[in-house]
Amino acid sequence: MGEFKLIDGRAISESVHLETRQRVAVLKQKNITPGLAFIRVGEDPASRVYVGMKEKKCREIGITSQTHILEKETSGGSLLDLIARLNKDPKIHGILVQAPLPRQLNEAEVFASVLPGKDVDGFHPVNVGKLMLGDPSGFAPCTPAGVQQLLIRSGCPIKGSDVVILGRGNIVGKPLASILMQKSEFADATVTVCHSGTTDLAGHCRRADILIAAIGVPLFVKPDMVKPGAVVIDVGVNRIPDTAARNGSRLVGDVDFEAVKAVSSMMTPNPGGVGPMTIAMLMQNTVRAAEETLLN
């Protein structure tokens, strides 16, 4: 096994942002400024942080953003009315409804109300269907698309690789499986999706050339679950108690990084791996949505 290589999501995301900035400059020469609308319902602390990070990146890249903050008790009708107004606004090219939503709101109905051409999060049923069909005209969800870019830009061969994904969620696991199994240049992998009903989960993991953890369990992946020389991508975001931390807790991934590092050939850190790429792909999708208005 060769020397261990860190897959630096921050550095790779900056290279994506550089490309996106150049595309924004071309659009501005044509009098188009990409516009992205954020909708946040309630005061969930994590949602406030995530939207704030996305707003900051919009400013840096040259995308105009607006944030609509609704009361936690907001009705479905009020939220759908706001989305309908944004759908009609020609200056808004992308709409992102920050999840999770309060219980009284139907997430599936809300995501389906965003126009597919403005659904830069990739959650509309039309975009989900296009992803399954291998139709590149749809928008892919940002985190799975970011994982693929991490693999491509770090020189990890995907074609013919045995990929195991831990987690079958609609935001990461299912769409990522669809992306990596497509018959295309940067895919063509054999993909296994593992979940809570999988028997011999560790055995499946040990077979993987590329192991992707999106299971939501802190430090779940241990060295004995990883094939020597495998590439490991850690998508998990978990908060665990830590008396040494200033606020009494810290963020960790689904992979026991320090222990698995001794077995893996390449691995993402957490934080600083997949997270920055999610924002990078959101910016890229928004600029693409703006570019496509020139074709209509």
| 121 counts as catalytic | yes
Query: Which of 290, 294, 207, 201 has its CA nearest to residue 254?
Result: 201
| 224 counts as catalytic | no
Q: Which of 57, 118, 119, 121 is catalytic?
A: 121
Contact assessment for residue 204 and residue 192, using Cβ atoms and an 8 Å cutoff: yes
Phi, psi of 128 (to 5 degrees): -60, -45
Q: Which of 57, 98, 149, 234 is catalytic?
A: 98
| 183 counts as catalytic | no
Q: Which residues are catalytic?
A: 54, 98, 121
